[in-house]
Structures are given as C-alpha cells and as structure tokens.
A = this chain, B = another copy of it.
Amino acid sequence: MKKEYLMAPGPTPVPPEVLLDMAQPIFHHRTPRFKKLFAEVNVLLKQIVRTSNPVITFASSGTGAMEASIVNTLSPGDKVIVINGGKFGERFGEICKAYGIQVIEVLQEWGIPVEAAQIEAVLKENPDVKAVFSTLCETSSGVVTDIKALGQVVAKTPAILVCDAISGLGADDMRTDEWGVDMLVVGSQKGLMLPPGLAFLSVSEKAKKLIDSCKTPKFYFNLKKALKSYDADDTPWTPAVTLIVGAHKSFSMMIEEGMDNIIARHTKLAQACRCGVQGLGLELFSKAPANTLTAVKVPDGVDGSAFVKKIRDEKGVTIAGGQDKFKGKIFRIAHLGYMNHFDVLISISATEMVLKELGYSFESGAGVKAVQKALL
C-alpha cells in the first residue's frame, strides 16, 4: 500500500464528498435542473469572492481567465502595469505582449513583496495606464501582496485593478469589492477544493466600461457573451457539467465553514508550517509569507531537486520544487484548501525524514515538535 499526500500548491486534494457528487449520472446543461444548480453556484461564488458583481465561469485552466481579463478590456497599444515578482505575474505580461499591449513591467525580486507606493509612483508617471495586474499569492515564491493597499492606490486613477487570486483565494484574505479589485481571477484546483478545469473571473462596473470599448479580437473568452448568458443562469458554450456539480458541493462546504473561519484556519496552518521549517533551522524564502504555501530555501549541501523527488517517491508526499532560476534552490509546501493541522504535521515530518537521509543535520523531531507547539 502506498498512501499519497498531495501537498503541492495545486491541484490540491478534493474532498471525497465532492468527488462522489461529481460521479453522479451526468445531465444536460440546457435544462431547468442545470440552471437552478448554476444559479446557486453563482450565489455561493459571489460570497467566496466577496463581491456583488458577476463572477463568470469558464471551462478552462486559470490561465484562460487571466487571458479573458486582458482580451476583454484592453486594445493593442494600450498601456498597462504588470507586477512581476514571479512566474505568474510574469504570465500576465506574456499574455499582454501576445496581444500587442504595452507593458510597464515592475520587476520585483522573487520573495520580496511589491509596495503600493511603488505602483503609485509608476501610475503618476503614466496617467494613461489602463490596467494594473497583480497577484494575491505568487505561487512561485510564496509571497502574498497587500492588495488592499494596492486597491487604494489604483482606485484613485482611471485604471482597473486585476488580481490573480488563482492560488490565493480561500487561503489568503481577499475582499474583492471592499479592496477595489475590478477583476479577480480564480482557479478551481486550489483553495476551492475542486479538480482543475474551471476558471472564474469577477467583473466590476469599472471593468465593464473598458469591455465596451475594447477592440482586441476574442471568441471563446468573450465576456460580453458570457455576461449575457450569466444573466440567464447560463453559459455561452457547453459548461463542464461535472465540475459545476462539484463546485456546488465544495462551495457549499466553504460557505458553511465561513470565509473568515477558512482564512483563520489557513493563517494557523501557515504559521505552524513556518514554525516547523524554522524549527529545523531552515530559512523562509518569502519576506511576506502567504497563507497558501510556504516557500523554503534548500539548505546548503542538499540537492533540492533530489529532495522533492525523494519525498514524493519514498514518502508519497507531493510538494513542489522551485521554478526557473530557483529550481533546486527552494521547495514549496502548500497548506491550501482541504487541509487541517495534521496535514502540516505530515509535510514537516516527511521533510525532516528526507532531509536527514540527505545528510542535513538538525535535532531529530524539532520540526514536528515546533508544528505541534504552534498548533496548540
């Protein structure tokens, strides 16, 4: 027997009750039954996103909704600010460039959060900026950005604020309307406890104005079409029915727990994880650690890639390594979605055991001890 533990920052474990709901006989999407289900899903989703605006559902990965936020609001030649502090901030820039949009890239060292004042200065120099692209939790570095502060800065300008909360939503606090986020990008396979295959995008009134004047061609990700269908509890193209059925279950579980409780749980798990790795004498990579995942520097003398492989193949624990220039240099443990205290204990225990085997020296049990102490 090999029991598997999925501790990577997405896909995250899906609760068995959600998996079983999705295994029910499939039904047709152009029916009162589907419309009712979808309407209920959308009410729950608005509560999770904390918005009174529509939140559109796409059958796609999160990248699809990132693209939708761009091709529906901006036209070739438009100027935007992209905060690039890692792999996913970088992606916003890549998509914009693919569509001929002028990108002012605010390059941020991986692990260091951007300050709202930096963006304020760039906005002042560039009053013609149409949109600011940000990331709630940068999955590649484990950094959480202060979106509230950013929202205050952007709200004073004509620009819209787009925020990628794909990995962050449901772990790091996100108050879409209160903080002035015009478009929140969400993926199913992270804090929402669903398999990958759905992406979501909220649309504020300010964003809608840009949609009306946008000249970039699009079809599958056309928000005007999607918004029109949304008003009729429908989708323009065939929805991913089983995933919508799953969403009904997982979103109901989330609202039953309560968004504040969910954030509190993740805050505690993240803190316990940090205590665990620090108990082992390891250093955190992120200067603003997210609730979503903990990025840790690989200690000197240890091969980071071998570590991630060994922990997966020998202990059955899937965590993530570093990406790009941090490949082999950091590892990332998620505590995201369907997770409780013992999941952090498992991750830290596996980390301890494998680091010991790889020759890293520390007091045995120091990690799990620190986790348990933090959880008490």
State how many copies of this chain the complex holds: 2
8 Å CB contact of A27 from B16, B27, B318: B318
Q: Are A218 and B59 in contact (CB under 8 A)?
A: no
A243 touches B100 (CB 8 A): no
Q: CB-CB contacts of A67-106 with B at 8 A, as 1s and 0s?
A: 1000000000000000000000000001100111000000
Q: Does the CB pair B22–A23 fall under 8 Å?
A: yes
What residues of chain A have their CB less than 8 Å away from a CB belonging to chain B? 4, 6, 8, 10-11, 13-14, 16, 19-20, 22-31, 59-64, 67, 94-95, 98-100, 187, 189, 195-197, 216-222, 237-243, 312, 318, 320
Docked complex Cα distance between A128 and B280 (Å): 68
A31–B312 Cα distance when bound, in Å, is 9
Is A196 within 8 A of B61, CB to CB?
no
New A-B contacts (12) at CB < 8 Å, excluding given A59-B60, A62-B238: A4-B25, A11-B241, A14-B242, A29-B196, A59-B61, A60-B60, A60-B64, A61-B240, A63-B219, A195-B240, A197-B197, A197-B242
Chain B contacts for A26, CB-based, 8 A: 6, 11, 13-14, 19, 195
The reply to whether A11 and B28 form a contact with Cβ atoms under 8 Å apart is yes
The one of B59, B99, B189 in contact with A196, judged by C-beta atoms closer than 8 angstroms, is: B59
Task: Assess the B28–A318 pair: CB atoms within 8 A.
Answer: yes
> Chain B residues with Cβ under 8 A from A16's Cβ?
23
Question: Shortest Cβ distance from A121 into chain B, in angstroms?
Answer: 29
CA A61 – CA B241 in complex, angstroms? 11
Please report the C-alpha to C-alpha distance between residue A244 and residue B222 in the assembled complex, in whole angstroms. 26
Most buried by B among A10, A22, A220, A241: A220
Whether A100 contacts B196 in the complex (CB less than 8 A), given A26-B14, A59-B59, comes out as no
Do A220 and B219 touch (CB < 8 A)?
no
Is there an interface contact between A25 and B10, defined as CB atoms closer than 8 Å?
A: no
Distance A187 CA – B241 CA, assembled complex (angstroms): 14
Closest B residue to A239 using CB positions = B196
Name the contact of A240 in the complex, choosing from B4, B30, B99, B240 (C-beta under 8 A).
B240
- Kindly name the residue among A26, A63, A320 whose own CB sees the greatest number of chain B CB atoms within 10 A: A26
Shortest CB–CB separation between residue A195 and chain B, in angstroms? 4
Is the Cβ of A240 less than 8 Å from the Cβ of B196?
yes
Cα A19 to Cα B242 in complex, Å, equals: 10
**Contact indicator B60/A219 (Cβ below 8 Å):** no
Show 24 A/B contacts (Cβ-Cβ < 8 Å), sorted by A. Answer: A4-B25, A6-B26, A6-B28, A13-B26, A19-B25, A22-B22, A22-B23, A28-B318, A30-B320, A59-B60, A59-B196, A59-B197, A60-B60, A61-B220, A61-B240, A62-B237, A62-B238, A63-B237, A195-B242, A195-B243, A197-B197, A197-B241, A197-B243, A242-B242
Shortest CB-to-CB span from A221 to chain B, Å, is 7
Q: Which B residues are CB-close (under 8 A) to A94?
A: 219
Q: Is the CB of A98 within 8 A of B11?
A: no
Docked pose: A197 CA to B245 CA in angstroms = 13
